[in-house]
A and B are shown apart, each in its own frame.
Chain A
């Protein structure tokens, strides 16, 4: 969805480096999410935020941190990257309660492919 952008799209880094992945949205949604996708494991939720002051851990938050700088921006950091964090990372948004019956629909960015050597 072009309304949700992620930078960078691809990144190769070395073990121990600090990495930040950024997500921006123009959909005006309150809720934002970070997922990790590994082959055969589907999408796993890392962190989610229901509004600027609300940050929640997901299923696999260890080794990651997030910052919700504004309604439109949600960044994911790997403080000290390790090889098993090599994966495809997706940011997503949803309208939440403000979206009524469709509020749970998630809109995904194009993804960031991260390789940790």
Chain B
């Protein structure tokens, strides 16, 4: 079936370092959403990308949607301790009613 893998599974960084998580889908996605889940919390929507090759920025976060609409990335510049959590990508597989979450990347930021 359709799968959405994220790498890395875990990442520890020193505060101030950059961080990137990659999202790779086995199928084309109609669009892609990114969510952040703080430890002990629930996923919270960050952003949506729709167009092939789209790039969006939110302060220190940069999101990219691949040309083939099968992959995406989230880059955080100069991480802060408030960035700690698990980042998930998710999207509807094109032409189906299947909404799939990525496996997630857990980020720890060391002060």
Q: Which residues of A contact B (CB under 8 A)?
A: 1, 33, 35, 40-45, 48, 56, 59, 90, 92, 101-102, 104-111
Contacts and interface: CB of A to CB of B under 8 A. Distances in A.
Contacts of B9: 40
B85 interface: no
Nearest to A31: B99
A42 B21 CA distance: 15
Interface stretch (B38-46, B57-65, B76-84): B38-46
| Interface of A (DSSP majority class) | mixed
B50 interface: yes
Given A41-B103, A42-B104, A59-B1, A108 B31 contact: no
9 contacts: A1-B42, A41-B103, A42-B101, A45-B99, A59-B1, A102-B48, A106-B35, A108-B44, A109-B42
Nearest to B106: A40
A106 B42 contact: no
A92 B42 CA distance: 10
Contacts of B35: 106
Interface of B: 1, 6, 9, 30-31, 33, 35, 41-45, 48, 50, 88, 90-92, 97-104
A42 B44 contact: no
B31 A43 contact: no
Contacts of A107: 45
A35 B102 CA distance: 13
B92 A104 contact: yes
B79 to A, nearest CB: 22
B48 A90 contact: no
Contacts of A45: 98-101
Given A92-B43, A106-B33, 14 more contacts: A33-B99, A42-B88, A42-B102, A43-B43, A43-B101, A48-B97, A104-B33, A104-B91, A105-B48, A106-B45, A106-B99, A107-B45, A108-B44, A109-B42
